[in-house]
Structure 1
Amino acid sequence: MDCVVSLIITISLALHFPGSCSHVYSRSDFPEGFAFGAGTSAYQWEGAAAEDGRKPSVWDTFVHSRNLDNGDVACDGYHKYKEDVQLMVETGLDAFKFSISWSRLIPNGRGPVNPKGLQFYKNFIQELVTHGIEPHATLFHYDLPQALEDDYGGWLNRTIVKDFTAYADVCFREFGNHVKFWTTLNEANIFTIGSYNDGITGPGRCSGNCKSGNSSTEPYIVGHNLLLAHASASRLYRQKYKDMQGGSVALSLYAIGFSPLTTSKDDEIATQRARDFYLGWMLEPLTFGDYPHVMRRTVGSRLPHFSEEESELVKGSSDFIGIIHYLAANVTNTKPYFPGYADFYSDTGITLSYTCNITTSQCAVTPWALEGVLEYIKQSYGNPPVYILENGKSMKGDFQLQEKDTPRIDYLHVYIGAVLNAVRNGSDTRGYFVWSLMDVFELLGGYSPRYGLYYVNFSDSRLTRSPKLSAHWYSAFIKGDTTFRVSQGISQLQSNFSSSSL
């Protein structure tokens, strides 16, 4: 980035909210120690799907059985990790979020550790730490070893709690001297809905057009087992490793910004019900030890119960909350509708109007929705520490359009500005991670949606990485140089872009 710094002055952020004046701010306005990072995940970045002892995960099975794009090669991060860490260094990242492939580390899900998989993660983590980048490790990002799915049904079976805890134990023991931030489960709520209610993510179970599944019961069974597995791993860390390693363990959740469609009382009540079902489903047990009352009343016997011991295990088991945010939605109250069976959506009794085309990943820019999520968590759940572990914008188009990605810059500066507003209003938010460091295999869209700060040429066997304008912008912001208004800053970045490189 040195040659870029010599050519440009870093931009600050001009934040535009409806009805408000724009203002300029810089990194220095954030609290000391606030982390700015980026992320990827194992299946989306690593590739090397059949190399060095790795065995299939449910995601390998899911995409191959449906003849979809796959992560067999992805970005080939398994071989190119040193090059990618260098990109992180040049960008100036404080931290990097990644996930560990359970089926690379313990190929059968339980039993022997794969020495080559173990060495890869040790090397990668050491590379991060050596270059001053804080590792944020996720243990599970949609990719359960297929062996466990075949053996006993994976997350549907309580046996998973023991196996996940044993897997976490290996990770804590082997990597915990360097990794201080652990996320057990990535966006546990939406993983559950996508995989066991809708059937659109692995293992692809549902009551509709799926080969097997029960959308009436399985999402709640899986959600319950996820919470117990997280809490068990968290307890293990506190009992065995925390005093020695000094790290923290958390759960991450997908947080939609909900607003009532109208000013009617019914829509206001429905909006709270949406928050309870989508966010409170996991946050209520983590904070108070049980599910929201509205879920108990509506779902009834299909919603599992915590024993007194389990309630105490889950309550307080998350040292911080990881938040993943992309969407806003307007909420309308609807009468319960049961088309032969109940599922998660009919249980909520609401209709959502998204400000986003989920199929194309093209979303409206609604930074106030993220600010609202952070304010809601502050007010409703005791203001826990929060890290925004994913937020970003997808763009399509050719290489030239991808490089000059000013809409992504516009997106990032207003969302980071929304985070700053929330922090100034008392939210204990401590970090912000852009999704994603580079273009990766996207779980719902394959290689078409591109979220990366760096362009990856998937048509080139070398998988060449190239910085987009947003990479220069994010680097300049993180490094906190002199600020000026964003219109001026983007113009100057564009004029210098072709003659500079990170």
Structure 2
Amino acid sequence: MRRVVASLLFLVGLLLKIIEGGGALKFTREDFPQDFVFGAGTSAYQVEGAAAEDGRTPSIWDTFTHSGRMLDKSTGDVAADGYHKYKEDVKLIHDTNLEAYRFSISWPRLIPNGRGPVNPKALEYYNNLINGLVKYGIQIHVTLYHLDLPQALEDEYGGWVSPRIVDDFMAYADVCFREFGDRVSHWTPLVEPNVNAMASYDSGAFPPNHCSYPFGLNCTVGNSTVEPYIVGHNSLLAHASVVRLYREKYQGVQNGVVGANVYTFWCYPFSNSAADIAATQRSMDFMVGWIIHPLVFGDYPEVMKKNAGSRIPSFTKSQSELVKGAFDFLGINHYTSIYVSDNSNNVPKTGLRDFNADMFATFRVTRDDPPAGKFVPTRMQIDPAGLQYMLEYIKEVYGNPPVYIQENGYGQKANDTIHDAERVDYLSGYMGSMLSAIKNGANVKGYFVWSFLDVFEVLAGYQSRYGLYYVDFEDENRTRTPKLSAYWYSNFLKKKLLKNSKRRSKYAAILAEQ
């Protein structure tokens, strides 16, 4: 109860601060703590390509894209060709002055059948990549699972809907810790388990394309009313089991840390009404608390258990003890903010409900938008202050654990040029907001731009670009070209003065100097 009151007071207090912001931000690399790291990231399916080479077998993303599910009918078969161009990319990471690099390991490349024999070609590739980063003194952050489940396990028992996934994920993690843990300092078992559960098993927007009417479209299997909760539960148990494995078998020797990742967006009340403020807190509990609450307190938020009832699995005593405290740091992927209004009068209290309906809330990108109701806004609101509020919320509600912003970035259309002044504005604004949170006591340890290169984007294929480096997807060589944002970020990391300005001429002048 004390936590709920604290959360509501925090949100009410923010109503008085919403209009704050603006003004030029001036800070340097030296304004951040000495042990703070700046980096950028990619993920295996989105960057590697070589989808059918050297023993790799299909993941659920291969199956999904090859069935024509993407709007642009694209696949990650070649992507940015990182599998073949890793030496060039490691050199670019160094030349950009990145202090850390975050990437994921492809489960179907390393263990092609999902379990059993390890692929020696995959070991060679990842060892070469890691050794290249070590050579340049780049801190290595590895995600074990970035949504690319081996199709073999999906076919065998349904993947994440089955508790059998826990043992197979542990065995896969054990291989990664054993083979790479002497050089990898930071591990994240799962990326965005909340998004995976919702997008893959409620709306069916991601593979394996599970959903049920009327909550999702174009699915042939699934149950949107229960599967998101089951998958979220199995994800937490798999995560916690891997953390226990690492702590008992490897951490004392390898001296690394292992964290938990969650997708976040900041939620503002649509109005200052008590109903909208309560709906905003419900949304925070459903979206963020779903994952972080069990890791900190050992159980789901009370409002989730109340609204979902028997559809959300219960933790046994031993499971609660396993999950509670199963992280050394929290990683958040943060891009945007939304407005939340109460929808409790329009949602049936009985009958079929999915995860979104259980929130009794409506999401909008701006105050002028009509109700949208889904968990991912159709447009992105650029709101740097939202990152500060999210970091301070984690500090106040969850005991101020170490936090890494593992993804933050700005997508532009496929014809995005290298003169990406909008991206510079976005990144500098969010970095400044993060610094404000740090000055207010938030325990933030690092920041990673999404993404290092233009990659295959899971929501838009090749129609949206987030990279610091432009990749020519029409060129079989996948030529990399630094964008203005790459020069800007590199210069900042060389401790030059960073300025938050929207004057394109100044950014163009910076680019012209290179």
Q: State the TM-score, normalized to the length of structure 1.
A: 0.93
Q: Is 1:220 equivalent to 2:229 in the alignment? A: yes
Q: Is the 8 A contact 2:387 2:430 kept in 1?
A: yes
**Contact between 2:143 and 2:188, CA under 8 Å: does it hold in 1?**
yes
Q: 2:509 maps to what in 1?
A: 495
Indicate yes or no: 2:288 matched with 1:273.
no
**Counterparts of 1:234 and 1:359 in 2: how far apart (Å)?**
29
| 1:340 Cα deviation from its structure 2 partner | 5.5
For each residue in 1:453-495, what CA deviation from the matched residue of structure 2 results, as whole angstroms up to 9, or x when unmatched?
00000011111000000000000011102x2644499645413
| 1:478 matches 2:483 | no
Contact 1:362 1:395 in 2 (8 A): no
**Aligned residue number for residue 306 of structure 1:** 315
1:90 to 91, 95, 102: 95
Which amino acid counterpart does residue 344 of structure 1 have in structure 2?
F
2:361 corresponds to 1:350: yes
| Equivalent pair of 1:38/1:433 in contact (CA under 8 Å) | yes
Cα separation, partners in 2 of 1:303 and 1:495, compared to 1, 3 Å: same
**Aligned residue in 2 for 1:129:** 134
The offset of 1:23, in angstroms, is 3.8
AA aligned opposite 2:330: I
Pairs aligned (count): 482
User: What residue is the counterpart of 1:69 in the other structure?
Assistant: 74
Q: Answer yes or no: is the 8 Å Cα contact 1:396–1:402 preserved in 2.
A: no
Give the superposition deviation at 1:191: 1.2
- Residue 412 of structure 2 aligns to a residue whose secondary structure is coil
> What is the Cα deviation at residue 361 of structure 1?
7.3
| Unmatched 5+ stretches in structure 2 | 1-17
Look up the match of 2:30. 28
1:375 is aligned to 2:388: no
Residue 327 of structure 2 is aligned to residue 331 of structure 1: no
Are 1:42 and 1:100, in contact at CA under 8 Å, matched by a contact in 2?
Answer: yes
Alignment of 1:194-205 (within 5 A): 194-205=199-210
Aligned-residue RMSD, C-alpha: 1.9
Task: Compare relative contact order (CA 8 Å, sep 6+) and give the higher one, 1 or 2.
Answer: 1
Structure 1 contact 188–251 (Cα < 8 Å) conserved: no
Identity percentage over the alignment?
53
Conserved in 2, the CA contact under 8 Å of 1:102 and 1:145?
yes
Matches within 5 A, 1:163-202: 163-202=168-207
**1:119, distance to aligned residue in structure 2 (A):** 1.1
AA of the residue aligned to 1:383: N
CA contact (8 A) 1:395 1:402 kept: no
Letter in 1 for 2:110: L
2:4 alignment counterpart: none
1:91-490 → structure 2 map (5 Å cutoff) = 91-208=96-213, 209=217, 210-335=219-344, 337-338=347-348, 341-355=352-366, 363-396=380-413, 398=415, 401-481=416-496, 483=497, 485-487=499-501
Q: Amino acid of the residue matched to residue 348 of structure 1?
A: M
Alignment correspondent of 2:7: none
- After superposition, give the CA deviation of every residue in 1:339-371 in whole Å (9 maximum; x if it has no partner): 962100111100011259999975221011111
Distance 1:466 1:340, change over 3 A: same
Closer, same or farther in 2 for the Cα pair 1:296/1:456, shift >3 Å? same
Retained in 2: the 8 A contact 1:360–1:449?
no
Q: Which amino acid aligns with 1:372?
A: Y
Structure 1 pair 114–374 and aligned structure 2 pair: CA distance change class (3 A):
same
Contact 1:280 1:292 in 2 (8 A): yes
Residues 24 and 51 from structure 1, CA distance in 2 versus in 1: closer, same or farther, beyond 3 angstroms? Answer: same
TM-score (norm 2): 0.91
1:427 is paired with a residue of what secondary structure? coil
CA distance in 2, matches of 1:20, 1:139: 38
Q: Is the 8 A contact 1:362 1:394 kept in 2?
A: no
Secondary structure of 1:252's partner? Answer: strand
How far apart in 2 are the matches of 1:207 and 1:233? 31
1:181-208 CA deviation, whole Å, 9 max, x = no partner?
Answer: 0000001111110000110001110013
SS of the counterpart of 2:248?
helix
Q: Does the aligned pair in 2 maintain the 1:48–1:76 contact within 8 Å?
A: yes
For 2:377 and 2:269, the matched residues in 1 are separated by 24
CA change 1:354–1:493 in 2 (3 A) is closer
The answer for unaligned runs of 5 or more in structure 1 is 1-15
